Amino acid sequence: MRFWPVIVDLAFLALVHGFQIPFQERESGYNFTTLSLSALPSDSFTVLEHPHFKDHSVRIRRTASEFCDPSVASYTGYIDTSAARHIFFYFFESRSSPETDDVILWTNGGPGCSSSLGLFMELGPCRIDDGNGTKVNPHSWNENANIFFIDQPIGVGFSYADYGETVFTTEEAAQDIAAFVAIFFETFSQFKGRPFHLSGESYGGRYLPVFGAAIWDQNTHLVAAGLEPINLKSLLIGNGVTDEFRMIPSYYEMQCTPASVDPVLDISSCITMKTALPRCQKWLKESCLDSFDTISCSAAYSFCSTHLMAPLEATGRNPYDISKPCEDRSALCYPVTKYIRDYLNDPETRKLLGVSPALENVTFSSCNMAVGAGFRSNMDIIRGHTPYYLENLLDRGIKVLIYVGTYDWICNWVGNEAMVDALEWHGASDFKDQKLKAWSTIKGQEVSSPAGKVKSSGGLTFLTIEGAGHMVPYDKPAEALEMVTRWVHGGSF
């Protein structure tokens, strides 16, 4: 999910203190250099430490066989930092060949939304679609890959801090993810050298390029220390917001032209929007891009939000699927999120997952609004020059897949296509020469044909999924699995 834009009330940030809970002592500790994943106990955490990462350690335990999908081994744990931050994660082995399959890390967006949404609503080994617990998902992305789901940054999901620490920038969050990945691969040598992919959606379009750059730069230090680098192969960004400067103008097209569905606003409102658009673009460029002025940039962003984004809310449409009404705004327009919340608030579920006792009196929520407010107060979305990270990763041979459901409004295909076409990298000219063409699926599978449109050149691929909204694996699970399987295994579209 990506939050609706709001003008930040700094006093609201005080809400984050509801997540300041003292750190509990580890249940058990072992200082292994290497370890077998299958040897982990399920009744206590094993602590992973590495001399190269003195500020980070990892607690991990195997979950009981009845969790989620009994056919695969699963694990949960925490990434602990010397700064008293504790980041929760899930890990599921592949259903196919866990000993050889690639590794994927998934993060949801927000900023501030738990990756339990991705796990239990979209692409995980099980789904929750009612009040009767989990059901095995036949279209899980772990069909042919091992996969992490990360609750990051702190304050999100089951992640927490000890003494009021906060993380409100993507660059700071990236350091914890890079260290965690290195510790995991170093400790469990069975994964060393495996192809590794960063994936996520929505604000993941900001997160993932920065996380990828942090892992790439960290590899230089790993090699210098005589350690094996992380074999980072690609980024998969679903309905992401990577270039806000190009996303904002797309809101006019999505509301006032048949770019996705028939126009949803009246003509008078569309004329007002189009009149405001040049001022919005000029103000953003001068105050946020050419040089960054916090006050002026914040005012520019507020102006653009008011005139180009707020009108959709008045229509009652779902910003994550413009073809439908929003069923329940308190549930992110998807009532199923309430079932996920109830499941993760159940004491038995928390015991099964090994959730820290420090969170015993803290209610789980799908998205932490205080974390989102903190990122917005820092203008993280627009000050980070995120497209530059993508360009540098592409120039270093890291493949990038930008996939977008055509019915999403908030991180839509128009803005994402404008973003990929504007990237400056060694393959930019060839990529821009490509035309969108239909992509279809393997004959006989339960997938619509064509499934969407695609253009690709060099290491960059832009792909749409027809009829999907913001959460592609939720709306089009079979198409999403087909897409990720081809991508990870080097197939073409």
Catalytic residue chosen out of the listed positions 94, 202, 234, 356 = 202
Catalytic residue chosen out of the listed positions 50, 56, 86, 470 = 470
Let me know: does 439 contact 483? Beta carbons within 8 Å: no
Give me the residues paired with residue 127 across strands: 135
**b/e sequence 83-115, b meaning 16+ C-beta within 10 Å:** bbbbbbbbbbbbbeebeebbbbbbbbbbbbbbb
Q: Tokens 């627009």 sit at which residue? A: 382
Alpha-carbon span 344 to 151, nearest angstrom = 13
Distance of CA 243 to the CA centre of its chain: 15
DSSP annotation of 55 = T
Alpha-carbon span 121 to 343, nearest angstrom = 12
342 catalytically annotated: no
Alpha-carbon span 447 to 438, nearest angstrom = 14
Alpha-carbon span 210 to 208, nearest angstrom = 5
Catalytic residue chosen out of the listed positions 287, 408, 456, 475 = 408
- 25 CB neighbour count, 10 Å cutoff: 5
408 catalytically annotated: yes
Q: Helix, strand or coil for residue 62?
A: strand
Alpha-carbon span 92 to 398, nearest angstrom = 24
DSSP annotation of 425 = S
Q: Torsion-angle region of residue 232: left (phi > 0), alpha (psi -120 to 50) or beta? A: beta
In the structure encoding, which two tokens stand for residue 95, read together? 């259903």
470 catalytically annotated: yes
Give catalytic residue positions: 202, 408, 470
